[in-house]
Amino acid sequence: MLLHDTALVFGRYARQTLRSRFAVLLGLLMPLLHLLFFGPLLTGLPLGGRGSSWQILVPGLLLQLALFGAAFAGFMIIVEKNLGIVERMRVTPVSRLALLLGRVLRDTAVLVVQSVLLVVAALVMGLRAPIWGILAGFAFVALLALSLASLSYAAAMRVRTPQEFGPAVNALIMPSMLLSGLMLPMSLGPRWLDVLSHAVPFRYLVDAMRDAYVGAYATGSMLYGALVALGLAAVAVTVGTRVFVRAGA
C-alpha cells in the first residue's frame, strides 16, 4: 500500500511539474549563470585541487542547485494547506508517509533532471570528468535533495503562511551555502573558516563530490561524504515521517 500510495502521490506532483516545465528551466538559471559568468574566471586560478577548475566548480553548483531547490520545497505545501488540499488527502485512507515520500521523490527527480542538464551545459563549457564520478555526483544530489525536501515539508507543515517560511529558510541556507565551500574550496581560506565549515554537513558532500569528479573514489572524503549524506537522509526522512504521521494531532 505504501508503494501504491507513494506512486500515486508522486504521479500527482509529477504532473504538476510537467504543467510548469518553464519553472523547471527557470530553476536552472542561477547555476547556469554561475557556470557562464563565474566559471571562466576560475580557469587560470590556482585552486589547490586536482584537475581543472570545472571539476571543482561543477560539484559545488550541483549541490547549490539541490540546496536551494529542495530547501524551498515546503512552500508548495503551505499553499496546499491553505487550499484545503492537505486535509482533503489526509481524510482518505492514503498512507501518511506516502504523502511525504511522493512529494519528496518528485522534488528529487526534478533536481536530478536539472543536474543532468547542468552537467551537459558544463561539458560544453569545458568540463571533463570520469563518467562514474559524474554518476556518483548525481547520487549525492539525489540524497541531499531527498533530505532537505523532507525537512522542508516537515517545517512547512508547522507554518501558516509562506511569508514566515521564506525568510527562515533563507536565513538557514545562505550561511550553510557560504560555509560549506560550494563556490570555492574552503581549504583556500584561513584555518578558522576551514574548521568552522566542518560543522556544516554539506561540506562533506562537496568534498566527496570533488573527489568523485577527479576519479579519486577510495578516499577519506568519499567515505565521510557518503556517510554524512546517508545519515542526513535517514534523519531527515525520520523527522518528516514523524511530522506527517502526527500532523494536526
Partner 1 sequence: MAIISTAGLARTFRTGNGPVEAVRGIDLTVREGEILGFLGPNGAGKTTTLRMLTTLLRPTGGAATVAGHDLVGDPAGVRRAVGYVAQSGGVDPQVPVREELVTQGRLYRLTRDQAVRRAAELAEDLGLTGLLDRRTSTLSGGQRRRLDIALGLTHRPKVLFLDEPTTGLDPASRADLWDLVRRLRDEHGTTVFLTTHYLDEADALADRLVVVDGGVVVAEGTPGALKLRHGGSIDATLQETFLAITGRGPAPAGSAPVSV
| C-beta of 50 vs 90, nearer to partner 1 | 90
| Closest to 213 in 3D by CA, of 83, 51, 105, 66 | 51
| C-beta of 94 vs 200, nearer to partner 1 | 94
| C-beta of 19 vs 191, nearer to partner 1 | 19
| Closest to 162 in 3D by CA, of 239, 228, 247, 81 | 81
Provide the binding-site residues for partner 1, judged by CB under 8 A: 1, 4-5, 8, 12, 15-16, 19, 80, 82-94, 248-249
| C-beta of 44 vs 248, nearer to partner 1 | 248
What is the nearest approach in angstroms of partner 1 to the Cβ of residue 7? 10
| C-beta of 46 vs 84, nearer to partner 1 | 84
SS3 annotation, the chain:
CHHHHHHHHHHHHHHHHHHCHHHHHHCCHHHHHHHHHHHHHHCCCCCCCCCCHHHHHHHHHHHHHHHHHHHCCHHHHHHHHHHCHHHHHHCCCCCHHHHHHHHHHHHHHHHHHHHHHHHHHHHHHCCCCCHHHHHHHHHHHHHHHHHHHHHHHHHHHCCCCHHHHHHHHHHHHHHHHHHCCCCCCHHHCCHHHHHHHCCCHHHHHHHHHHHHHCCCCCCHHHHHHHHHHHHHHHHHHHHHHHHHHHCCC
| C-beta of 193 vs 247, nearer to partner 1 | 247
| C-beta of 128 vs 158, nearer to partner 1 | 158
What is the nearest approach in angstroms of partner 1 to the Cβ of residue 170? 22
What is the nearest approach in angstroms of partner 1 to the Cβ of residue 69? 20
Question: What is the spatial distance between Cα 94 and Cα 98, in angstroms, rounded to a whole number?
Answer: 7
What is the nearest approach in angstroms of partner 1 to the Cβ of residue 159? 12
- For 71, phi then psi, to 5°, come to -65, -30
What is the nearest approach in angstroms of partner 1 to the Cβ of residue 171? 20
| Closest to 70 in 3D by CA, of 145, 175, 16 | 145
What is the nearest approach in angstroms of partner 1 to the Cβ of residue 94? 5
What is the nearest approach in angstroms of partner 1 to the Cβ of residue 249? 4
